[in-house]
Amino acid sequence: MVVQTHSHRVAPSLSVGAQVTPTSSFAVVTSTPLVNTSSRSRPPSATANSTPPDTLDTRARSHSNVSTATAAVPLVTITKRSAKAVHREQLRVRQKALDSKLLSARQRFEKEVDSLGKEYRKSSREIRGRALLRNKYGIGKRKVNSYNAFRHKQSKARKASKESLEFTAAQELDTTSYQEADAETIATAKSELEEEKKERSGYIYKTLKGRTQHADKVIRGIDQAIKELNLSCGVESICIFVSGSNRDHSLLQAAYTSKGIEFFEGPLKKNLNNVLQDFQTFAQGGTEDLAKSHRELQKELRDQVSARLLSSLQEAAGPKYSIRSMKYEDYEARICRKYNVALVGWPTDLGKFRSPTQIGNKQLKMLLGLLKDDTCRFEKAPPK
């Protein structure tokens, strides 16, 4: 503590813990720890340089005045820190500021998204229901239909299993009644059964879809009967069903028991799907098409159609020209005008005149039939 005094000189005094500069107009007072005052209770030592007691009391009073004056001044503690510590502190402050900015921006963004999505937020069930209503023939409707069909089959299977015992009992009763009945009663019962079948069938046999549905229904009944026969009597069997009509290629079904299919694929070494395909080919085309593959039949049809077209063109052009190949692109200029012929009876379903390699099997068969009976042919062009 610096104490400013008057400009006159101060007489030197020997106070405890204080140093005064006599020649200066300022005095520097440094506070030091006080001497233990408990020494006043000690008896004075008998030395040559001893101080009288009244002098000691005066010095103690003056020293207490100085320490009272210096006790009110606050002490400032300065801690020395390294440059790295200061830099780390600055980085920590900046990171906190950035985190707070990022948090506020994220909250603002989430709030905007929530406000925008309130009107369009719907449950998945509601969206699925609306999609099914909008998309009438969509995937969802097909899945629902297939699921409904599966449930329908399950319910029918349950009903059939419930009615199996009743069916067996009724069959035994019918057998007993048939053995005891006379010929007229049997004939009347048969005619009534046929009439009932016709009434039940209605118009379903007139359409392809109706025939397919009826066939599926009958095959399911046969499958159920085979399984019931296996359970009751231990009879093993296998039945395969295909369509004999060229219009229907979808009926490839089989009804079998466990031992039947095991014998079919084991000792016989036959794949059921391949046998069904071969049986369908035989039922629809005969034995001549059984050993040929699909590609071989297609190539044979194309070769026959090409040969018929080339033969018809050669006959129409006459012996004057020797035609070795057909020109299907721009045929009017390269064939009709060149050889003075005209194409008659080309089917409108096939569109423009084109190569047999660009025509399907069904259309090739139709075209081959038209070429065989000369409905489609080349002939001499009429004179202009």
pLDDT at 117: 63
- What confidence tens digit (pLDDT) does each residue in 299-335 have? 888 888 888 888 888 888 888 888 878 888 888 888 8
- What confidence tens digit (pLDDT) does each residue in 139-175 have? 555 666 676 777 777 777 777 766 676 666 666 666 6
Q: Is the pLDDT reported for residue 274 higher than 70?
A: yes
**What is the C-alpha separation between 349 and 75, in angstroms, rounded?**
112
pLDDT at 22: 44
Q: Is the pLDDT reported for residue 3 higher than 50?
A: no
**What is the C-alpha separation between 46 and 97, in angstroms, rounded?**
74
Kindly report which listed range (2-16, 92-106, 252-266) carries the lowest average pLDDT score.
2-16
Mapping DSSP onto H, E and C, the string for the chain reads CEEECCCCCCCCCCCCCCCCCCCCCEEECCCCCCCCHHHHHCCCCCCCCCCCHHHHHHHHHHHHHHHHHHCCCCCCCCCCCCHHHHHHHHHHHHHHHHHHHHHHHHHHHHHHHHHHHCCCCCCHHHHHHHHHHHCCCCHHHHHHHHHHHHHHHHHHHHHHHHHHHHHHHHHHHHHHHHHHCCHHHHHHHHHHHHHHHHHHHCCHHHCHHHHHHHHHHHHHHHHHHHHHHHHHHCCCCEEEEECCCCCCCCCEEEEECHHHHHHHHCCCCCCHHHHHHHHHHHHHHCHHHCCCCHHHHHHHHHHHHHHHHHHHHHHHHCCCCCCCCCCCCCHHHHHHHHHCEEEECCCHHHCCCCCHHHCCHHHHHHHHHHHHCCCCEEEECCCC
Q: Is the pLDDT reported for residue 210 higher than 50?
A: yes
- What confidence tens digit (pLDDT) does each residue in 45-55 have? 444 444 555 55
Q: Is the pLDDT reported for residue 13 higher than 50?
A: no
**For all residues of the chain together, what is the average pLDDT?**
71
Q: Which residues contact 2 (CB under 8 A, 6 or more apart)?
A: 26, 27, 28, 29
| pTM greater than 0.75 (yes/no) | no
pLDDT at 358: 85
pLDDT at 31: 44
The stretch 236-242 carries a mean pLDDT of 88
Higher pLDDT: 125 or 86? It is 86
Confidence tier at 93 by pLDDT (50, 70, 90): very high
- The number of beta carbons lying within 10 Å of the beta carbon of residue 7 is 6
Kindly report which listed range (14-28, 227-241, 294-308) carries the lowest average pLDDT score.
14-28
Q: Is the pLDDT reported for residue 230 higher than 60?
A: yes
Kindly report which listed range (193-202, 223-232, 300-309) carries the lowest average pLDDT score.
193-202
On whether the CB atoms of residues 32 and 17 are closer than 8 A, the answer is yes
340: left (phi over 0), alpha (psi -120 to 50) or beta: left
Helix axes 208-233, 139-180, angle to 10 degrees: 60
